[in-house]
Structure 1
Amino acid sequence: MNPNLNQLHPYPFEKLTRLNQGITPPASLPLISLSIGEPKHPAPQFVLDALTRELAGAAVYPTTRGLPQLRSAIASWANNRFNLASAPLDPEANILPVTGTREALFAIVQALVDRTASPLVVCPNPFYQIYEGAALLAGAEPHYLACRDELDGQPDYDAVPGEIWDRCQVLFLCSPGNPNGAVASLAQLQKLIHLADAHDFVIAADECYSEIYPPAGTPPVGLLEACASLGRNDYNRCLAFHSLSKRSNLPGLRSGFVAGDAGLLSQFLRYRTYQGCAMPVHHQHASIAAWGDETHVQQNRAAYQAKFDAVVPILQEVLDVKAPQAGFYLWPRTPGSDEAFAQDLLQHCGVAVLPGRYLSRDIAGDNPGAGRVRMAMVAPLEECVEAAKRIRDFLRSQ
């Protein structure tokens, strides 16, 4: 067996299951789960129609590069969304469809890391656990950068020593952030691009929450947009990862893409050809339909905003919490231990949440996720409001 398997931490939901063993929610209250970030809004019917129309594609081996029509649809969407007119993505060179960002974020590290060079994979803390697992199984050491309120939920990149950047081979960004919803600024992304040039590492930007933001707000800036603003038409050292899971409520379709540096994508395609992870043809046709429509995305955005508008004022009566800049999570501080708080909410309120410490690592005795919980606003509006009222009433009774 690969000895690095022994370094993998239990997944957050494994920890949550162990934490809640023996706890019985109130029989009189239906369970409301806010613990898992699985979209619950209906999948767009026109996408499902496209999927079923093309079921004959199940009899065909798909190519790893995907259909030309899919790459063109993705390039058209990304060029428009991220203002890339000055450096438009080439569907033949700058786009590679993937079977969801989770798979691709893991695989890219296996393809990029040179394990002979004492490599680091740098990521935010808290973080999506795939970043860490990908690093460990590629033979790299994860290096964690704490996300603090003092910097609007972003890591303090200026405080990172030069020797860390010298060993860095992959820098993971997550903007909008999971779990804190923080959005990186254009200036920050530009600074990181210059750091990547100076220290020769690759930036892997996980932007799967980029389309969930306040309808009246400004769309989050993307890594490729920052490249274009610097006149970097080659997107050198930069890769952006996107998905239909959150944008279009299609987590089961397993459809996304990675875009950017053509040289890196050429080698990643080579890796993926051996990995055997091509997207089924009928999924590709459904994806073409999804990337070509914005109306359902606007409706999705409005539905999440309605939840934040209703839920946040209720919770603010008893908790330190605010709506995120983007994404669909709340990240409130807890009155005491986050684990004990999660247990109390399940036992007394019938509401499941995820302790923040399960999304973070202790570094020198400090866990930046401790004392918070993640609440995913994915349930229907009525359930989210009901959960907030239960939490408020429970805390008032203490």
Structure 2
Amino acid sequence: MNPRLDRLQPYPFEKLRLLHQGVTPSPQWSAISLGIGEPKHPTPPFIQQALAAHLDGLAVYPSTVGSLDLRTACAQWAQRRYRVNLDPQSQVLPVNGSREALFALAQTVVDASREGATVVCPNPFYQIYEGAALLAGAQPYFAAVDAQRNFAVDWAAVPESVWQRTQLLYVCSPGNPTGAVMPLDEWKLLFELSDRHGFVIASDECYSEIWFGSQPPLGGLEAARQLGRTDFRNLVYFTSLSKRSNVPGLRSGFVAGDAALIHAFTRYRTYHGSAMGPAVQAASVAAWSDEAHVEHNRALYREKFAAVLPLLQPVMDVRLPDAGFYLWAATPGDDAQFSRGLLEKYNVTVLPGSYLAREQGGANPGRGRIRMALVAPVDECVEAARRIAAYCSELNPSPRPSP
């Protein structure tokens, strides 16, 4: 067996299952899960129809690079969304969802023979980053977050000695679980560090189409364009249809950026066997070519956040994220015990924040927080918020002071 497998930690949802073992939820309440970030809004019918209309593609071996129609649709969407010009032939590659591609990129770019090979990622973080680093033979380094800036990553606090060893940096903006979005000055800092030390930036932006303000979140490709880096040097952008179009089972997304990196990644994926089926490609073309369903999806999330936050803010430290569909809320007491007690008493599932982070300087930055995924229908989210608020009031009868 590969000895690196032994370095992998249990996945957060496995830890959650063990935490909830032996708990019998109160039969007074129906079950509501805010634990897993799995979109629950209906898949648009036109995407289903496009998939069904191309089932003859099941009789064909797909190519790793995908059809030119799909790569063109992805490039055109990026041009509309970020005002960037991508060459569909050399700067775009379809992937089977962002998760597998985020993992595979580390296997492509990390040279484990170099002493101290390091992969930097946020903390809290999406656990694929850590697993990808470990299985590529690198050491993960967890960059601290600043709670005073809505848990944005403090990239400037990463020591220069770490950057010197870094081969890959995972950026997640909007962030999971915090929803923080990186501004242009942070992108400028990371690009300068990448130029100095030669590391690759993997920009995970799968939550980019769920936002609440008047302007969409800044993305890595867009930041590069604004800073005159139109070759997207050392940058690979990742996105997915899962959250944007409510098709997590379709397993469809794309990567884009530095042509040399896309070329190397394509070579790796040819051996890895990661080609997207023709029927999925056709459905993906339809999805990337339409924005009306995305605007409707965004409106549903805005409705949920607007309804839920007034119920929770009197009893919890929680705020509207910059983007995404998570709430990152402080708990009265231990986050794991809060999750267990909430399930037992009110039959609501939430994910302990400590399961999404690692110890750093003697502290876990996720401890004392929970992640709530507002993926259920509006009425279920509101009902869950009422139960969570009631549980918080029982644990801490004194109301929070008004902000």
Q: Which residue of 2 aligns with 1:273?
A: 270
Aligned residues: 394
Query: Which residue pairs with 1:172 in the alignment?
Result: 170
> Does the 8 Å CA contact 1:148/1:368 hold for their aligned counterparts?
no
In the alignment, what sits opposite 2:121? 123
Pairing 1:393–2:390 present? yes
Counterpart Cα distance in 1 of 2:188 and 2:76: 23
Specify the alignment match of 1:193 in structure 2. Answer: 191
| 2:161 corresponds to | 163
Aligned residue number for residue 86 of structure 2: 89
Q: Counterpart amino acid of 2:175?
A: G
Indicate the larger mover: 23-32 or 134-143.
Answer: 23-32
Please give the alpha-carbon distance, in whole angstroms, between the structure 1 residues aligned to 2:392 and 2:184.
40
Rounded to whole Å, the distance in 2 between the matches of 1:226 and 1:392 is 39
> What is the CA distance between 1:148 and its match in structure 2?
2.0
Distance (whole Å) between structure 2 residues aligned to residue 380 and residue 165 of structure 1:
43
Structure 1 residue aligned with 2:54: 54
Matched, 1:264 2:261: yes
Identity %: 57
Partners of 2:199 and 2:394 in 1: how far apart? Answer: 52
Aligned to 2:320: 323
TM-score, reference length from structure 2: 0.97
Contact 2:144 2:157 in 1 (8 A): no
Measure how far apart 1:147 and its partner are. 1.5
Deviation at 1:392, TM superposition (A): 1.5
Following TM superposition, the consecutive aligned residue runs of length 4 or more in structure 1 with deviations greater than 6 angstroms are none
- The answer on whether the counterparts of 1:180 and 1:329 sit within 8 Å (CA) in structure 2 is yes
**Post-superposition offset of 1:395:** 2.6
On the 8 A contact 1:186/1:221 being kept in 2, the answer is yes
> Is the CA contact (8 Å cut-off) linking 1:120 and 1:141 kept in structure 2?
yes
Deviation track 1:339-365 (CA, whole Å, cap 9, x = no partner) reads: 111011101111000000000001231
Amino acid at match of 2:270: T
1:354 corresponds, among 351, 356, 371, to: 351
Pairing partner for 1:296 from 293, 298, 302: 293
Counterpart pick for 1:224 among 221, 226, 238: 221
**Paired position in structure 2 for 1:181:** 179
Q: Which of 310, 320, 324 is the matching residue for 2:307?
A: 310
Asked whether the 8 Å contact 1:33–1:351 carries over to 2, the reply is yes
Instruction: With the length of structure 1 as denominator, give the TM-score of the two structures.
Output: 0.98
1:383 matched residue in structure 2: 380
Partner residue in 2 for 1:153: 151
Q: CA offset at residue 221 of structure 1? A: 0.5
Separation in structure 2 between the aligned mates of residue 396 and residue 324 of structure 1, nearest angstrom? 23
> What is the SS of the residue equivalent to 1:331?
strand
Report deviation, 1:79: 1.3
Partner Cα distance (2:30, 2:277) in 1: 38
For 1:290 and 1:245, locate their aligned partners in 2 and report how far apart those are by CA, in whole Å. Answer: 11
Q: State the Cα distance separating 1:390 from its structure 2 match.
A: 1.1
Kindly provide the amino acid, as one letter, of the partner of residue 189 in structure 2.
K
Q: CA deviation at 1:397?
A: 3.3
Question: Which letter maps to 1:96?
Answer: L
Please report how far the alpha carbon of residue 396 of structure 1 lies from its aligned counterpart in structure 2 after TM superposition: 2.5
Q: What SS does structure 1 have at the residue aligned with 2:113?
A: helix
Q: Look up the SS of the partner of 2:297 in the other structure.
A: helix
Partner of 1:63: 63
Please give the alpha-carbon distance, in whole angstroms, between the structure 2 residues aligned to 1:186 and 1:268. 27
- Deviation by residue 1:126-185 (Cα, 9 ceiling, x = unmatched): 000000000000000000012121233222211222111110000000000000000000
* C-alpha distance in structure 2 between counterparts of 1:97 and 1:319, whole Å: 41
Q: Which is worse superposed, 270-279 or 147-156? A: 147-156
Measured in 2, the distance between the counterparts of 1:348 and 1:244 equals: 36
Paired residue secondary structure (2:372) = strand
1:286 maps to amino acid = A
Deviations 1:216-268 (A, max 9, x none): 42101111111111222211100100000000000000000000000011011
Name the CA distance, whole Å, in 1 between partners of 2:343 and 2:67. 46
Question: Which structure 1 residue ranges, 5 or more long, are not aligned?
Answer: none
In structure 2, the residue corresponding to 1:64 is in which secondary structure?
coil
Q: Which runs of 5+ in 2 are unaligned?
A: 396-403
Aligned mates of 1:125, 1:396 — CA distance in 2: 29
182-191 or 101-110, which deviates more: 182-191
- For 1:91 and 1:395, how far apart are their aligned partners in 2? 51
Deviation at 1:313, TM superposition (A): 0.4
**Paired position in structure 2 for 1:101:** 98
Whole-Å Cα distance in 2 between the matches of residues 93 and 350 of structure 1? 50
Residue equivalent to 1:43: 43
Task: Check conservation: 1:128, 1:359, Cα contact below 8 A.
Answer: yes
RMSD: 0.8
How far off its partner does 1:285 sit?
0.2
Rounded Cα–Cα distance in structure 1 between residues aligned with 2:9 and 2:245 = 30
Contact 1:148 1:154 (C-alpha < 8 Å) held by counterparts: yes
Output one character per residue of 1:275-320: Cα deviation in whole Å (capped at 9) or x when no partner.
Answer: 0010010000000000000000000000001000000100112111
2:332/2:392 contact within 8 Å kept: no
CA distance in 2, matches of 1:148, 1:158: 11
Structure 1 stretch displaced more, 317-326 or 333-342: 317-326
Superposed counterparts of 1:205-216, under 5 Å: 205-214=203-212, 216=213
Partner of 1:245: 242
Is 1:137 matched up with 2:123? no
